[in-house]
A and B are shown apart, each in its own frame.
Chain A
C-alpha cells in the first residue's frame, strides 16, 4: 500500500514540476521513476517486493492499451484525408527505426538482453512492455528504453527535422510520433494541433507495426 501511495504522489510531483519547468526532462514518468527508485535503494527494498506491491496499478495498463484506439478513431477524418502521407511516412519511419534498433545492437555486440529490449523502443512503453513476453526481453528494460527513446526524441527531433528541411506540421508530427511515441507526441502538441494529431496517429501506427514485426519477423 505504501508503495502505491508513494508512486501516485511521485507522479503528481513530476506533473507539477512539468508545469513549472517546460522541458522534456521534467517528464512525470521520469521524475516518478527517479523518486521511487531512490526510495527503494535508500530503504534497501528489492524491486521484486515493490513490483508485487504495486500490481493493482499495472493491472490498469491492459484497458489503457485498448483505449489507444480512441484518439486514433477521433482523428479518422485527418487519417482519411492524408492517409498517403501518414501511413507511408509513419510506417516507413517506424520500420527504419526498428531496423536500426535491431541491427546496431548486433553490430555493437551488445548483450542479448539489450538487443531484445532495444528492438521495441519505437513502440509506446505499455506496448513495448506487452511485447517483452514475445521478444524474451526483460520487461523492465524494454519499458524503460522505450520511455528513454521517447524522451530523447522529444529533445532532439524538433530541431533535427528543421535542420533537414521538414517544415510541414503534418510531416513533423508523423515523424515524431512514428519513433518517439508518447513523450514525443506531448512535445509535438506544443508545435500545434495538426502536429500533435499527426504524432498521435504515428504513435498508434507504430504500436501496431512493431507488434506485427515482432509477431511475424521475430
Chain B
C-alpha cells in the first residue's frame, strides 16, 4: 500500500505512528464491545471490532497506513499473546490419556473440513 506523500501521518515519527495505530485498534475493540452490549449480541466485542475495522478500511474511513505498523507488530507476535492462556494446560495434565481422544476428534474435524474446502474450492476456482 502506498502512502500519499502529503499525508500528515507520514510526518509522525514511527513510534508515534505505532501509538496511533494502537489507539485506533483498541478504539475499535471498545466500539465493538459497546455495540455488543447495546444490541445484546452474544459475540466477543473484539471480533465485532474486527468486522467494523474491515468495513471502515473498505469504506475509506480508516487509512491502512494509520494502523498497519501497529497491526503488523501485533500480528507478528500473535503467538506470544495467547501463551498466558495455553500455559493453563498445566491444570489439565490430569486428563492424561483423554488428550489422545481430543486430538483424534480434532484430526477428524481437520481432515473432513479441509477435504471439503479443498474439493469445493478446486471446482470453483477461476483460472
Name A residues whose Cβ lies closer than 8 Å to a Cβ of B. 7-8, 10-11, 27-29, 32-33, 36-37, 40-41, 47, 50-51, 54-55, 57-58, 60-74, 76, 81-82, 84-86, 88-90, 92-98, 100-101, 104-105, 108, 110-111, 114, 118, 121-122, 125-127, 129-131, 133-134, 138-141, 143-145, 147-149, 152-153, 156-157, 160-161, 164-168, 170-172, 174-176, 178-180, 182, 198, 202, 207-208, 211-212, 214-216
Contact = CB atoms under 8 A, between A and B. Distances in A.
B70 to A, nearest CB: 7
Contact of A143 (B86, B102, B111, B114): B86
A168 B125 contact: yes
A72 B58 CA distance: 10
Binding site of A, secondary structure by majority: helix, strand, loop or mixed?
A: helix
B121 A175 contact: yes
Interface in B101-127: 101-103, 105-126
Interface in B25-73: 25-26, 28-29, 32, 41-47, 49-51, 53-54, 57-58, 64, 67-68, 70-72
A40 B84 CA distance: 12
Query: Contact size class for B?
Result: 35 or more
